[in-house]
A and B are shown apart, each in its own frame.
Chain A
């Protein structure tokens, strides 16, 4: 049996680089102004998968993502870096999913790809920071989880040894396979795109993307079937509709408040010697420092 690694990844708005144009005049987030990126820790996860493939050449790395049609971008990105193929789970029925409904859909897709050895994802996504989807998917699959992986020390068909990065130290654990692993940001960064793979996969498309192409690629895709990225809907996964999207999500958003900065009387000073010296004197006089 081929060693199969499934990488769970998410395309996210780049919330770390919120510029001034990212907020609309009414103070709400202008999502369109935020670029969509490969979730950073999921790239660390991809690297862990690819480094296993370096050691076990017959291993295959499959990228699985759930999202809108454009999320196929991160599947291509993963293929440029060494992933063998990818699947996009996309359906309007998934809209509004919280982590529980998301992990339900992901777990069904992973089961469809069985038998597998490892499910690897980033610890958390930057748009939610919940770190819940990895463990919840593991629970739904009924497999052990190893969170906060910093390094995979060794792996074979039966077991894996992982170094975990915890708040106050490190832990080395051994797990039976299959297992789910979430990768911490302190793990090695992902390798760059490989020129040969970029050439090979640059025309990789989902069916939906192909329908929007003006050029006819029929012949190309007959010759190179690996260029077709599969899309799976809720029906393809045999998902129960009530477990998806809003109805499958026990958490509800009651209220969203745009951040209003509380205003304090701030004294603005310059950086001249005189101004800094008088500030330091004031702090020392009031025993805040010194």
Chain B
């Protein structure tokens, strides 16, 4: 069987993005299950410290394309390099971050190779499949597991016939884990000049304004999160007030983001950020599975909801039956009263 490849994103600081390290960690486990090697693909320019950074994740081979035209990322040159590599190496599995970059390049690559791609997986496993129609047994497929249909179902997707089996995964869904600090792989350089054509540069970047995400809900210890039930942008200010006092961050469900109550950067859930805080206070959030997929690992969950039967309450440690606009000011008041 052929190997597992992870497309590694290069950050503004010219190092490798967290999401890619998380995927390498998961990729190493899958590679162990399949008894194959883990290979990383890095496409960029002047990326520093690749070998000491990536080998500890158990990377057997780093494929590195270094060319000044390859940073910042643009779709066509990166796609050309991936296709050239994949046509030679014929990966068994290829993983991408479900980021602005990963969700741009992965479908383009999958289309060119005519292989299957599953977006935003929340879990990846190895398993078998028996196809009744053709009476065919498939061994060691990649189970690509994701919520679908607005989060009302969980689907397990497989690609029995096509390779690579491709999937994207959001940042924070997989855990970043060092395989062995002493592990050593090898570096293979890709000669980008031989692959890139003039047509690959149809899109040029005129201007970029990148910032480190200021809102860091991923690493927050306490998150006050609001849903559609918060009711308005004004009511959301109450959540910010409570967050200020508790040193917390404000999160949101997709419905609240869609309603324009807060920025998309704060969205928790399958199409937002996955969080594991010590305390998650869900305010007016009904709890679609897509939202819960992003927060159900929280150590403590408090739900504030007027509807006692809201699905979120079933994973909550405490359910406060009441109105957000009424309960939060009380929480602020009693916190202040009891803290020294």
Interface positions of A (Cβ within 8 A of B): 13, 15-16, 18, 22-23, 29, 40, 98-100, 103, 126-136, 138-140, 144-148, 161, 166-176, 179, 185-186, 249-259, 261-271, 273, 275-277, 279-281, 283-284, 288-290
Which of chain B's residues has its CB closest to A166's CB?
B100
Stretch of B172-180, B185-193, B200-208 with 4 or more beta carbons under 8 angstroms from chain A: B200-208
CB < 8 Å: which of A98, A256, A268, A281 contacts B313?
A268
Q: Is B205 a contact partner of A290 (Cβ separation < 8 A)?
A: no
A133 vs B337: C-alpha distance in the bound complex, in angstroms? 55
CB < 8 Å: which of A170, A172, A252, A276 contacts B334?
A276
Q: Is B75 a contact partner of A144 (Cβ separation < 8 A)?
A: yes
Tell me whether A172 and B205 are in contact in the complex, defined as CB-CB below 8 angstroms, given that A167-B100, A267-B318 are known contacts: yes
Q: Is B155 a contact partner of A253 (Cβ separation < 8 A)?
A: yes
Q: Is B108 a contact partner of A100 (Cβ separation < 8 A)?
A: no
A262 vs B313: C-alpha distance in the bound complex, in angstroms? 10
Q: Is A277 a contact partner of B112 (Cβ separation < 8 A)?
A: no
A266 vs B301: C-alpha distance in the bound complex, in angstroms? 9
A271 vs B321: C-alpha distance in the bound complex, in angstroms? 6
B317 is an interface residue with CB less than 8 A from chain A: yes
A257 vs B148: C-alpha distance in the bound complex, in angstroms? 10
CB-CB < 8 A to B246: which residues of A? 289-290
A263 vs B129: C-alpha distance in the bound complex, in angstroms? 30
B330 is an interface residue with CB less than 8 A from chain A: yes
CB < 8 Å: which of A16, A135, A267, A290 contacts B107?
A135
Task: With both chains docked as a complex, state the minimum distance between the C-beta of B27 and any C-beta of chain A, in angstroms.
Answer: 20
B118 is an interface residue with CB less than 8 A from chain A: yes
CB < 8 Å: which of B104, B144, B205, B210 contacts A147?
B104
A288 vs B296: C-alpha distance in the bound complex, in angstroms? 17
Q: Is A266 a contact partner of B317 (Cβ separation < 8 A)?
A: yes
Q: Is A129 a contact partner of B314 (Cβ separation < 8 A)?
A: no
CB-CB < 8 A to A134: which residues of B? 107
CB < 8 Å: which of A126, A131, A288 contacts B150?
A126
21 contacts between A and B (CB under 8 A): A130-B120, A139-B108, A168-B12, A171-B205, A171-B208, A250-B161, A252-B116, A252-B157, A252-B158, A254-B129, A256-B148, A257-B154, A259-B147, A266-B317, A268-B318, A270-B322, A271-B326, A276-B320, A276-B334, A280-B331, A280-B334
A173 vs B208: C-alpha distance in the bound complex, in angstroms? 9
CB-CB < 8 A to A186: which residues of B? 264
Interface positions of B (Cβ within 8 A of A): 12, 72, 74-76, 79, 99-100, 103-104, 106-108, 110-112, 114-120, 129, 143-144, 147-162, 202-213, 222, 246, 254-255, 258, 264-265, 270-271, 278-279, 288-289, 296, 299-300, 302-303, 308, 311, 313-323, 326-327, 330-331, 334-335, 337-339
CB-CB < 8 A to A267: which residues of B? 317-319
Q: Is A270 a contact partner of B108 (Cβ separation < 8 A)?
A: no
Q: Is A269 a contact partner of B279 (Cβ separation < 8 A)?
A: no
A216 vs B303: C-alpha distance in the bound complex, in angstroms? 58
Q: Is B204 a contact partner of A18 (Cβ separation < 8 A)?
A: no
Tell me whether A271 and B319 are in contact in the complex, defined as CB-CB below 8 angstroms, given that A136-B108, A254-B156 are known contacts: no
